[in-house]
A and B are shown apart, each in its own frame.
Chain A
Amino acid sequence: MHMPDGLINAPVSIGAGVLVAGAVAVSLKKTKGSLDSQTAPMAGLVAVFIFAAQMINFPVAAGTSGHLMGGALAAILVGPWVAVLVMTVVVGIQALVFADGGLSALGINILNMGIVTVIVGTLVFALTMKVLSKTKSSIVAASAIAAFISVPAAALAFVIEYYLGGNATYDPMTVLISVVGVHLLIGIGEAIITALTVGAILATRADLVDGARKFLPKQKLIIKDSVVS
């Protein structure tokens, strides 16, 4: 959910903005250092993918439906550094071009939906893969767990911001229980969709899944003498 202006006070909003700027600076440095330094077109298309994937409606029941947030998915697919940049751009464009989310809350929205989800998703995925066997099905399972945790983690980040600078009179404890509680449910949906999507990509282009690359055996290039008919 994109926060509007006025819900969180100015100092906390600016503080969130500073954290975002820091995370983006680190991510820019990390992606610049990587082998393919000119990743902009690829990252741009991944941003469109996240943007479009958020538009796929997953019907739940009785006319309600949910959609993906995509932070953990992006982290697993393209790695945390590119994912931070991609999610920052997606949330930023939503605010500036689509008027979705307050301008003063831009830092908060990017932090919660773009950075916390990516960091938590990455960490949970890495930790889960440490325990599990290094197979495709465990990559799918780890994606599910990472996506599941990332959603209430984003909600928790909001509750912390609310505790520090919320302009509302709801008791922070009540907000904690209700907001995180609801997002545990949303997290289940996010987990299923993320796992199924990662599974679908692993089945056809496993080499594109950044999180899977180091766990799967390197594919050998085989050149055969003649075409077997």
Chain B
Amino acid sequence: MKLSPERVVLDTNNAHEHGHGVGDHLYVHRHSLVHDLPAQVKTVAAIVFIFVVVLTPVHAVGAFAVYLGLVFVVVKIADLPFPLVLRRMLIEIPFVLFAVLMPFFGPEPRVEFLGLSLSQEGLWSAFGILAKGTIGVATSITLAATTRARDLLQGLETIGVPDLLVQIASFMLRYSAVVTDDLSRMKVARESRGFSATGVKHWKVLANSAGALFIRSYERGERVHLAMLSRGYNGTIIDLYKPVVTKKDWRTAMALPIVAASIMVIAWITL
């Protein structure tokens, strides 16, 4: 997990922005149907879609091919560069190893393949984890690449995520650049004094930095809170701009999970 030291973009709600806002680490700016859908609609559609994928029996190989195809169609509509999506999917690698090793240890019956004795059930499970994990990570990346963090938080609030959680999340995203800058200043300070961490014996110094970072963050939180109180903050944040969600938005977004669900039903019936 990395955060690039992004800069704060002027945070006007309805201005047309081409830059990246805070926390828009994976966001790719495009003008597409997928980008234009309200964030909460996309998020719900993505989550329902993933659950449909997870609920599909692993033996329905064709169904997973269709799901992957559907995700690629969405990526295409969103005008996202495929190499970028593929590169970001590498995050999945540790679990690929977990899955690939499985057929070697699985239960009987076994099949012979290139002179290796592989567990049949292990092979199916490995395929299931790889297929579902891959479709899942591709969907997550597409969601993150087409949705601004700010819109996401605003959207989550409208579908019932508690206000306090949304506020904590928005403070977290808003100040992540500030705090990671704090962190990199400490790193510069350490290194300009000749420090480089090479082993466990240096943990004390790094932990001191973590401690200092906590105190700085906490005190910054107190200052921000007081500054907000003095400007009339009473625990709720009023949004002057509310995104309008139409039934058409829901129909468009839910097309993905609905198509997937019909495939899943067919898979269950035919297997």
Contact = CB atoms under 8 A, between A and B. Distances in A.
Is A bound to B? yes
A42 B164 CA distance: 12
A178 to B, nearest CB: 11
Interface in B91-147: 91-92, 94-95, 98-99, 102, 105-107, 119, 121-122, 125-126, 128-129, 131-133, 135-137, 139-141, 143-144
Interface stretch (A4-12, A122-130, A152-160, A213-221): A4-12
B221 to A, nearest CB: 3
A152 to B, nearest CB: 19
Contacts of A13: 51, 54
A103 B48 CA distance: 9
Interface in B138-189: 139-141, 143-144, 149, 152, 162, 164-165, 167-176, 178-180, 182-183
B92 A51 contact: no
Contacts of A55: 1-3, 180, 183
A24 B88 CA distance: 31
Contacts of A88: 165
Main secondary structure of the interface of A (DSSP, over half): helix
B23 interface: yes
Contacts of B197: 57-59
Contacts of B210: 53, 56, 68, 193, 196-197, 200
B229 A24 contact: no
A104 B128 CA distance: 15
B129 A167 contact: yes
Interface residues on B, range: 35 or more
Contact of A44 (B92, B144, B168, B180): B168
Given A61-B199, A98-B25, A6 B133 contact: yes
A96 B23 CA distance: 11
A169 B102 contact: yes
A89 interface: yes
Contact of B224 (A41, A92, A105): A41
Interface residues on A, range: 35 or more
Nearest to A8: B54
Interface stretch (B7-15, B70-78, B201-209, B248-256): B201-209
Contacts of B69: none
Nearest to A5: B136
Contacts, number: 271
Contacts of B25: 97-98
B183 to A, nearest CB: 5
A203 B204 CA distance: 13
B187 to A, nearest CB: 9
Nearest to A193: B207
Given A45-B175, A49-B217, A204 B211 contact: yes
A79 interface: no
A7 to B, nearest CB: 6
A41 B213 contact: no
A96 to B, nearest CB: 6
A131 interface: no
B68 interface: no
Nearest to A192: B203
A202 B135 CA distance: 46
Interface in A5-62: 5-7, 9-10, 13-14, 24-25, 28, 31-32, 37-49, 51-61
Interface of B: 1-3, 23-26, 43, 46-47, 50-51, 53-55, 58, 88, 91-92, 94-95, 98-99, 102, 105-107, 119, 121-122, 125-126, 128-129, 131-133, 135-137, 139-141, 143-144, 149, 152, 162, 164-165, 167-176, 178-180, 182-183, 197-200, 202-204, 206-215, 217-218, 220-222, 224-225, 228-229, 233-235
* Closest 10 pairs between A and B when the two form their complex, measured CB to CB: A44-B171, A6-B132, A200-B211, A5-B136, A196-B207, A45-B221, A42-B221, A4-B133, A40-B167, A99-B140
27 contacts: A4-B133, A6-B128, A7-B129, A10-B51, A14-B51, A28-B165, A42-B225, A43-B221, A44-B168, A45-B175, A49-B217, A52-B176, A52-B179, A58-B200, A59-B199, A89-B168, A93-B23, A99-B91, A104-B54, A105-B136, A169-B122, A192-B207, A196-B204, A196-B210, A197-B214, A200-B211, A208-B215
Given A51-B179, A103-B143, A197-B210, 16 more contacts: A4-B95, A5-B137, A38-B229, A40-B235, A43-B164, A52-B182, A58-B206, A59-B198, A59-B202, A60-B200, A89-B169, A93-B172, A101-B140, A167-B128, A169-B105, A200-B207
